[in-house]
Structure formats: structure tokens, C-alpha cells
């Protein structure tokens, strides 16, 4: 809180935005393990009141964003009010047609996750939020994770939300109401809680067989892999390590949870303002020193003239500059007073830091 000068602590709650989807599928994984739900089943098995579409949709397709369900559309029936149940939230988009035949394309869909949460509710026989509290939050030590109740509940640990206007940060006084999208983007949490959540995938809370199913890429009818499993995104970092992750962005937040299964290590980064940069790479850089032992590489030392190519207003321009380095810390100074801080990590690997994030940099003498 800039006005009251209240700093962030480990208890400060941030909006999770679409990182909420990772929370939802962790609950779904527990249901799969307990054989409470069949993700190959069609939606109407668990949500009989949901209108039939041009093609049948399975829960697995919803979780992998290959169902043909739309994302946010201009003709959503969204109202500025509190949505008290998943059935109520379905009214926002239940009138829409599918965008395409399921499993023929990948298309990100928050509506698909809201429908998925209704199916989880139908399968378990208890409310979606109660199920997550009992089967995810409590056993995994996620003490600061809960639905964002907005103006309907006092949340003393919730951060203020900011946006940048004319180079300054301004409080968002009327943030978006998210009760209609809890499963897709409506939770508040902390980085600690998100890291604790990933322990379910390695400590035996979820069986290895279930974890493999969750982290296996879905495949289109064409045979093409989507690199998205049951909700989680599957990828590699800049040094070819396996990563399972999900990120989110909405007004007043940018968030990510990245899990490195081969190292059994996780990192979460959350902010209370929108952030255009790739938060994923920043998270990967912050965790890099913990992923491998530092090796004795040749470290730069001294001052060097350099040339750099910058993309400016769609054009590539070559500029001159200077690199200064001492005791593993340095900076690049370019024309127009552009300055980047640099920190040596190991061997020829460095982090390049500016106000948009932390980036991967290699330099050799």
C-alpha cells in the first residue's frame, strides 16, 4: 500500500488471476485419484443442465483448452454483481456456440474452466470452493488461499491493486468483480501457498500415475501436441530444463507458478500491478542459482566498448555503449542513457535486469 506505506510480507495476498487454473486442476487431480470424476466423460454427465452444443465436450478437453469453448466475448451475459454458485456463473456464457470442433485446435478459455468447476461440483456433491478447501488448501498448507470476495468481504491481508498512469502508480479503486470466474481466475493467494501446492505432485499426496497424466501433453486430432496437459503448461527453460507452469494477468496483478519436476523445485512470483514483461523468464532466472552448482567460469572484469542492436519503434538500430564489470556485478550503458544491470550467475551465464524483468544473458570473452 503506497499511500499508507505498508510493505509486502509473506502474508500479503495477491490476485492469482489465471494461475487460479493450476489451483483448480490440483483439486481435479485429487478427484481423479479418488475416482470421483472421469475426465473422459462428457460435461452433461456432471452438469446435466448445461445446454448441449454442436459437438460433445469432455472434461479433459476443457482442462486442456481444446474444447472449442470461447474465452471472454463481448456478448457475455456478465453483470456487475456477486455470483454465488457455479450454476449461476454458467449463465455468463452458456448461450455461446463452440468456436470449433473439440480437439481440432488449441484455444485458451476461462469459460471452459468455469464449466470444469461446475462438473467438479456435480461429481463430488459438494460446492467447488468447499472441495478445494478440504482437499487442496488444508492438506497442502495453503493457509492464505481463498476466493476473491471483492467488496463483499473484508480481506485485511489483500494487497492494493495498481496500474501505471503517466509514469506513476495509481490505485485501482473499482477492481473487476471475479466471482463468476473463481476456477479460472478468481482466487487470491501468496507465492508461498503456490509453492506449497506443487508439493502435492512430488510428496505422494498425488500418485505418480496421476501426476504423469496431469503433466502429459494433450494431442489434437491431427496428432499435434499442444504442450498443455491437464491445465498445466509444459515447456523448457533457457537451459533446456523441464518446466511445468501457469501464469496469469489481470488488472492489478501478474503472477506465475513454475515447477521444475526434475529438481523438485518450485518458484512463484506475484505482483500487484499489471506487468507486460514475460514474468515466466524472470521466475526462471530467479531460481537459476538454485538449480545447479556454480562453476568457476571466466568472469568479466574491467571496462569494454560494445555495440548493441535494439528494436526501437519497429526498427533495428545499432547503438554504441560500454560494459563495466567488477566483482561479479556490472552494467551496460547505451546511448540515450539506457542502463541495464548485470549479475554473474555461473560460467558464462548472467542475469540482465531492467524495470521490465530479469532476463537470461550469456557473454564470453
> Which three cell numbers, joined as nine digits, stand for 306?
560494445
Q: Band of the pLDDT at 150, cuts 50, 70, 90? A: confident
pLDDT at 296: 54
What pTM, to 2 d.p., does this model score? Answer: 0.92
For residue 354, how many other CB atoms are within 10 A of its CB?
Answer: 13
Please determine, for residue 69, whether its predicted confidence score (pLDDT) is greater than 60: yes
Region 210-221: mean pLDDT is 98
Q: Is the pLDDT higher at 220 or at 84?
A: 220
Q: What pLDDT is recorded for position 357? A: 87
Q: Pick the range with the lowest mean pLDDT from 167-181, 250-264, 287-301, 351-365.
A: 287-301
SS (H, E, C) the chain: CCCCCCCCCCCCEEECHHHHHHHHHHHHHHHHHCCCCCCCCEHHHCCCCCCCCCCCCEHHHHHCCCCCCCCCCCCCCCCCCCCCCHHHHHCCCCCCCCCCCCCCCCCCCHHHHHHHHHHHHHHHCCCHHHHHHHHHHCCCCCCCCEECCHHHCCCCCECCCEEEECCEEEECCCCCCCHHHHHHHCEEECHHHHHHHHHHHCCCCCCHHHHHHHCCCCECCCCCECCECCCCEEEECCCCCEEEEEEEEECCEEEEEEEECCCCEEEEEEECECCCCCHHHHHHHHHHHHHCCCCCCCCCCEEEEEEEEEEECCEEEEEEEEEEEECCEEEEEEHHHEEEEEEEEECCEEEEEECCEEEEEECCC
For the ranges 1-5, 113-117, 169-173, 291-295, which has the lowest average pLDDT? 291-295
Give me the pLDDT at residue 365, please.
Answer: 65
What are the residues whose beta carbons fall under 8 Å from the beta carbon of 53, sequence distance 6 or more? 68, 97, 98
Q: Are 68 and 101 in contact (CB under 8 A)?
A: yes
Chain segment 318-331, per-residue pLDDT in tens: 889 999 988 889 99
| pLDDT at 298 exceeding the cut of 70 | no
pLDDT (0 to 100) of residue 310: 79
What is the average per-residue pLDDT within 174-192? 95
Q: Which of 216, 221, 234 has the alpha carbon at shortest distance from 66?
A: 221
Alpha-carbon distances of 64 from 22, 186, 199, rounded to whole Å:
12, 19, 22
The pLDDT value recorded for residue 297 is 57
Question: pLDDT tens digits for 154-180?
Answer: 899 999 999 988 888 999 998 889 999
Mean pLDDT taken over the chain: 92
Asked if residue 257 lies in contact with residue 198, where contact means CB atoms within 8 angstroms, the answer is yes
Cell readout for 234 is 509444459
Spatial distance between the Cα atoms of 362 and 348, rounded to a whole number of angstroms: 5
Name the pLDDT band for 106 (thresholds 50, 70, 90).
very high
Question: Which pLDDT belongs to residue 73?
Answer: 87
Please state, for a pLDDT cut of 90, what percent of the chain lies above it: 74
Q: What is the pLDDT of residue 110?
A: 96
Distances (CA, A) of 107 to 75, 89, 117: 18, 20, 18
Judged against a pLDDT cut of 70, whether residue 256 lies above it is answered with yes
Say which residue the cell 454483481 belongs to: 81
Q: Is the confidence at residue 53, as pLDDT, over 80?
A: yes
Instruction: Lowest mean pLDDT of 66-70, 208-212, 247-251, 296-300, name the range.
Output: 296-300
Between 181 and 153, residue with greater pLDDT: 181
| The residue to which cell 550467475 is assigned | 345
Residue 279 pLDDT > 70: yes
Confidence of residue 80 (pLDDT cuts 50, 70, 90): confident
Amino acid at each position: 500500500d503506497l499511500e499508507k506505506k505498508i510493505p509486502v510480507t509473506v502474508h500479503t495476498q495477491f490476485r492469482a488471476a489465471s494461475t487460479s487454473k493450476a489451483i483448480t486442476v490440483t483439486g481435479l487431480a485429487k478427484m481423479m485419484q479418488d475416482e470421483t470424476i472421469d475426465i473422459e466423460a462428457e460435461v452433461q454427465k456432471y452438469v446435466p443442465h448445461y445446454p448441449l452444443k454442436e459437438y460433445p465436450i469432455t472434461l479433459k478437453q476443457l482442462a486442456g483448452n481444446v474444447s472449442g469453448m470461447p474465452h471472454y466475448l463481448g456478448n457475455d451475459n456478465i453483470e456487475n454483481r456477486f455470483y454465488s454458485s457455479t450454476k449461476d456463473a454458467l449463465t455468463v456464457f452458456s448461450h455461446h456456440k463452440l468456436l470449433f470442433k473439440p480437439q481440432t485446435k488449441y484455444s485458451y478459455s476461462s469459460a471452459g474452466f468455469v464449466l470444469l468447476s461446475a462438473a467438479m461440483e456435480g461429481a463430488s456433491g459438494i460446492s467447488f470452493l468447499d472441495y478445494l478447501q478440504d482437499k487442496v488448501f488444508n492438506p497442502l498448507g495453503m493457509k492464505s488461499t481463498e476466493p476473491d470476495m471483492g467488496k463483499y468481504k473484508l480481506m485485511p491481508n489483500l494487497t492494493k491493486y495498481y496500474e501505471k498512469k503517466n509514469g506513476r502508480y495509481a490505485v485501482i479503486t473499482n477492481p473487476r468483480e471475479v466471482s463468476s470466474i473463481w476456477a479460472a481466475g478468481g482466487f487470491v493467494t501468496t507465492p508461498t501457498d503456490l509453492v506449497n501446492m506443487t508439493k502435492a505432485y512430488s510428496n505422494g499426496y498425488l500418485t505418480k500415475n496421476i501426476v504423469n497424466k496431469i503433466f502429459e501433453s494433450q494431442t489434437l486430432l491431427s496428432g499435434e501436441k499442444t504442450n498443455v496437459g491437464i491445465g498445466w503448461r509444459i515447456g523448457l527453460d533457457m537451459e533446456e530444463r523441464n518446466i511445468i507452469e501457469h501464469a496469469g494477468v489481470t488488472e492489478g496483478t501478474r503472477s506465475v507458478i513454475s515447477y521444475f519436476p526434475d529438481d523438485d523445485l518450485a518458484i512463484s512470483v506475484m505482483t500487484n500491478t499489471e506487468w507486460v514483461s514475460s514474468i515466466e523468464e524472470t521466475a526462471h532466472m530467479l531460481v537459476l542459482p538454485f538449480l545447479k552448482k556454480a562453476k568457476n567460469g571466466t568472469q568479466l572484469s574491467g571496462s569494454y566498448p560494445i555495440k548493441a542492436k535494439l528494436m526501437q519503434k519497429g526498427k533495428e538500430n545499432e547503438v554504441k555503449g560500454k560494459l563495466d564489470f567488477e566483482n561479479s556485478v556490472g552494467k551496460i550503458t547505451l546511448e540515450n542513457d539506457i542502463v541495464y544491470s548485470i549479475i554473474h550467475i555461473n560460467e558464462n551465464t548472467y542475469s540482465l535486469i531492467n524495470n521490465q524483468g530479469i532476463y537470461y544473458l550469456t557473454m564470453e570473452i
